[in-house]
């Protein structure tokens, strides 16, 4: 059995930590949360020389061990708590070759904790272009540490890094800096009071509030009661410690790190002037967004049609192959229909994540944050609030969690409350199917009406968020003052491997996360739609047959039979058949179509009088003013579990009793309003639905996360009530005007 060691990856944001993680673990990785908290935990397995396996943990980005956010506290807690099962045997401190001075602050702190540490200097391929030279042997000597010079882009230095990790026992644990010199008397008293404890670990425990294990909580209590320093005095000592470390770092870099200032000078500054310009910056960002939404529609149309057709064929195959019965109906009408309703959107969701990943990898996303700070300030927010709002385009849950980087509580609370307005990927399936049904074909300035509609919905969500933020900023009586500081990383070509991992992981997470909910709800809905208790349900066949014989088929069925017969007749005429043969074939086809129409009317009648039908009829008076029928009402209700369930629900509802090989889109397009006899999904009802989902809080998982982040049910309840009422009123106004 091979030995397994724990390896922690830690470093400043934008140093390429994720790239190193991907190089070491490949696809052998998983993403979850740390127990009890909403901080992402990314871990993987790496095979090392001499049969050693490394369990690698990618810790949240941190600038130093003097924490200012929950993310940083998680990293510090793991480094301090030896009882944690993930406590590292060795730490890899990832640094950027262009910002080595700042990165070394964190490295010297970790060395002082006496954890074996390897300094990984990333982006080595940029050294020549930036005129950087490093005397690695001398730097290793000065730091008393081993250094791995790597380029994740070119895959250089990774094998050497693996060798160093496997040989971690030979690494020096000697601290680089004696921090006790900042206040000898204070640290001397600390040593005497806690003779068995590590002095630097004690210092970290005293100077910050971290959620430690029981032994650490006891240590905090004892140390706090011992400390005679005020909070401001402790902060001054922390500042002295930082100055002391930078004096040490400056001394060694003066001998080991050289930069030719004339090399590649001015390119980044020139690009920044354009991309962050107060006019052209916004115009460029707007053009990029237009391109993204056009591509989401244009590139994904073919694979979506293939997936849609596949699930329609699979449903028909199951019904034709398996013996008739409850199990066959469950598979065809419940499981396949529900899953098909979400899988069809994999291409568009994957493209969305692809573009987001490309923007982050190139360094452009940070420029967007900087650019948007100018817009956010009048609304009581800073540029840091844009990070959750932008990441909300993927999912509101990690976006709400991302607000932990906002130190100011008022800004953080407002950002949490308005972030769900941002259009997330779960809304995308709803938008796409409704836009496809109600927005006409056509172009404006080379862009399709459908792509423009999708972009307008994203803009609407963002506008609603910042307007709500402005209102909350005036309503919430919380005194606050904050400053916006952000690091603009260097521009770089995206690493395709990183982009691929991100798209795969995020898409997989979306599909499997939503799939569990959709599968469960689809089965429940299938049962509710396939069973009933009334005589109308049990005698549906005889009731419909009698009605058809007396009154004829419904308007929809007559149109269905007529249109299909005309198409069939035209195809026979074009084939050159004899008139008498054509007449016989048409009579046979007419009989077949009438049989299908009869079955459809029976299925529709049974569905209307099933358990689901009665539930839908109960809520129909509430949704009817918005232009919805009871079926849409059921879909809106179930989509509270997750927005994307809306499409899966309709797919299940329209599949119950349906014997035709027909796609969900075609079934929805064929739905007729029983009162007006017009298509149910028209411009008025479609826009109403789009606006409802643009503003409604249709996600119980987001509410749970908001409760956890705010530690109160007050704020998620406020969100649910306000957003639902606002969405209902806007959708009502839109429908009443457009109808």
The response to whether 398 counts as a known ligand-binding position is: no
- Residue 371 burial (CB < 10 Å; 0-12/13-18/19+)? buried
- On whether 17 is known to bind a ligand per the annotation, the reply is yes
Is 13 flagged in the annotation as binding? yes
Instruction: Report the DSSP pairing between strands 257-259 and 146-149.
Output: unpaired
Residue 535 sits at φ, ψ, to 5 deg, of: -65, -35
Annotated binding-site residue? 125: yes
Place of tokens 């032994």: 215
Between vectors from CA 203 to CA 202 and to CA 209, what angle results, nearest 5°? 90
Element at 55 (helix H, strand E): strand 53-58
* CA–CA dist 619, 207 (Å, integer): 56
36 belongs to an annotated ligand binding site: yes
CA separation, residue 163 to residues 35, 276, 304, 565, 586 (Å): 32, 43, 46, 74, 77
Residue 415 marked ligand-binding: no
Q: Distances in Å between the alpha carbon of 226 and those of 179, 180, 198, 229, 551?
A: 19, 17, 16, 9, 92
Bridge partners for 7 per DSSP:
56, 90
Q: CA–CA separation, 592 vs 205, rounded Å? A: 79
The Cα 67–Cα 62 span in angstroms is 8
Is 14 annotated as belonging to a binding site? yes
- Flag whether 122 is marked binding: yes
* Rounded distance between C-alpha atoms, residue 261 and residue 267, angstroms: 13
Q: Binding site annotation covers 15?
A: yes
The answer to whether 451 and 293 are in contact (CB under 8 A) is yes
Tokens, residue 671: 């739905």
Spatial contact of 483 and 368, defined as CB atoms under 8 Å apart: no
508 carries a ligand binding annotation:
no
CA end-to-end span of the chain: 71
3 state DSSP class of 121: strand
**38 annotated binding-site participant:** yes
Q: Is 22 annotated as a binding residue?
A: yes
142 is in an annotated binding site: no
Residues composing the chain:
739
Q: Any binding-site annotation on 12? A: yes
DSSP 179: G
Query: Is position 6 annotated in a ligand binding site?
Result: no
How is 558-583 classified by DSSP, letter by letter? HHHHHHHHHHHHHHHHHHT--HHHHH
Binding residues for Mg(2+): 22, 25-26
As annotated, the binding site for GTP includes 11-18, 36-40, 58-61, 122-125
Residues annotated within a binding site: 11-18, 22, 25-26, 36-40, 58-61, 122-125
């Amino acid at each position: 059995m091979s030995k397994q060691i724990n390896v922690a990856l830690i470093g400043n944001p934008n140093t390429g930590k994720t790239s190193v993680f991907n190089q070491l673990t490949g696809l052998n990785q998983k993403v979850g949360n740390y127990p009890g908290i909403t901080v992402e935990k990314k871990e993987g397995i790496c095979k090392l020389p001499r049969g050693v396996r490394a369990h690698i943990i990618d810790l949240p980005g941190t600038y130093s061990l003097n924490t200012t956010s929950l993310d940083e506290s998680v990293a510090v807690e793991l480094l301090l708590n030896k009882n944690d099962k993930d406590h590292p045997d060795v730490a890899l401190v990832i640094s950027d070759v262009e910002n080595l001075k700042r990165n070394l602050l964190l490295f010297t702190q970790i060395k002082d904790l006496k954890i074996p540490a390897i300094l990984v200097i990333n982006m080595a391929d940029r050294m020549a272009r930036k005129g950087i030279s490093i005397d690695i042997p001398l730097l290793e000597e000065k730091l008393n540490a081993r250094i791995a010079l790597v380029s994740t882009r070119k895959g250089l230095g990774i094998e050497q890094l693996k060798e160093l990790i496997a040989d971690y026992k030979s690494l020096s644990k000697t601290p680089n800096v004696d921090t006790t010199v900042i206040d000898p008397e204070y640290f001397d008293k600390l040593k005497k009071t806690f003779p068995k404890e590590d002095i630097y670990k004690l210092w970290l425990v005293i100077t910050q509030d971290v959620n430690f294990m029981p032994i650490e909580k006891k240590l905090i209590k004892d140390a706090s009661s011992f400390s005679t320093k005020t909070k401001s005095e402790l902060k001054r000592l922390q500042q002295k410690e930082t100055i002391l470390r930078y004096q040490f770092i400056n001394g060694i870099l003066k001998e080991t790190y050289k930069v030719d200032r004339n090399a590649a000078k001015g390119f980044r500054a020139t690009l920044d002037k354009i991309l962050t310009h107060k006019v052209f910056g916004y115009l460029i960002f707007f053009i990029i967004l237009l391109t993204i939404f056009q591509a989401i529609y244009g590139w994904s149309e073919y694979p979506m049609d293939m997936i849609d057709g596949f699930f329609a064929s699979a449903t028909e195959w199951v019904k034709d192959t398996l013996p008739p019965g409850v199990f066959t109906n469950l598979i065809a009408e419940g499981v396949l229909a529900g899953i098909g309703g979400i899988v069809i959107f994999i291409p568009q969701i994957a493209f969305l994540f692809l573009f987001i990943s490309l923007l982050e990898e190139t360094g452009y996303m940070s420029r967007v944050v900087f650019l948007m700070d100018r817009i956010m300030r009048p609304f009581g927010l800073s540029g840091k609030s844009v990070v959750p709002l932008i990441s909300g385009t993927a999912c509101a849950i990690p976006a709400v969690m991302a607000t932990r980087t906002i130190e100011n509580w008022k800004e953080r609370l407002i950002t949490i409350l308005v972030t769900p307005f941002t259009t997330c990927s779960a809304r995308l399936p709803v938008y796409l199917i409704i836009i496809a049904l109600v927005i006409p074909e056509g172009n404006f300035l080379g862009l399709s009406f459908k792509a423009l509609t999708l972009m307008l919905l994203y803009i609407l969500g963002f506008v609603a968020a910042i307007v709500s933020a402005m209102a909350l900023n005036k309503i919430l009586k919380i005194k606050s003052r904050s400053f916006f500081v952000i690091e603009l990383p260097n521009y770089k070509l995206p690493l395709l491997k990183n982009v691929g991992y991100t798209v795969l992981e995020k898409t997989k997470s979306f599909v499997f996360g939503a799939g569990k909910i959709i599968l469960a709800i689809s089965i429940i809905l299938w049962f509710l739609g396939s069973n009933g208790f009334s005589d109308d349900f049990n005698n549906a066949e005889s009731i419909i047959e009698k009605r058809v014989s007396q009154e004829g088929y419904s308007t929809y069925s007559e149109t269905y039979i007529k249109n299909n017969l005309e198409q069939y007749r035209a195809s026979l005429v074009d084939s050159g058949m004899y008139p008498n043969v054509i007449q016989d074939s048409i009579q046979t086809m007419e009989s077949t179509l009438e049989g299908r129409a009869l079955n459809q009317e029976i299925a529709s009648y049974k569905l209307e009088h099933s358990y689901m039908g009665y539930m839908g009829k109960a809520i129909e008076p509430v949704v009817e003013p918005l232009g919805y029928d009871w079926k849409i009402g059921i879909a809106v209700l179930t989509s509270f579990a997750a927005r994307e369930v809306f499409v899966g629900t309709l797919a299940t509802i329209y599949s119950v009793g349906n014997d035709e090989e027909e796609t969900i889109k075609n079934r929805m397009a064929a739905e007729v309003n029983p009162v007006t006899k017009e298509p149910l999904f028209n411009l008025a009802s479609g826009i109403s639905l789009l606006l409802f989902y643009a503003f409604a809080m249709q996600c119980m998982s987001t509410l749970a996360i908001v409760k956890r982040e705010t530690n109160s049910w007050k704020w998620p309840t406020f969100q649910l009530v306000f957003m639902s009422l606002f969405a209902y009123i806007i959708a009502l106004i839109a429908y009443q005007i457009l109808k």
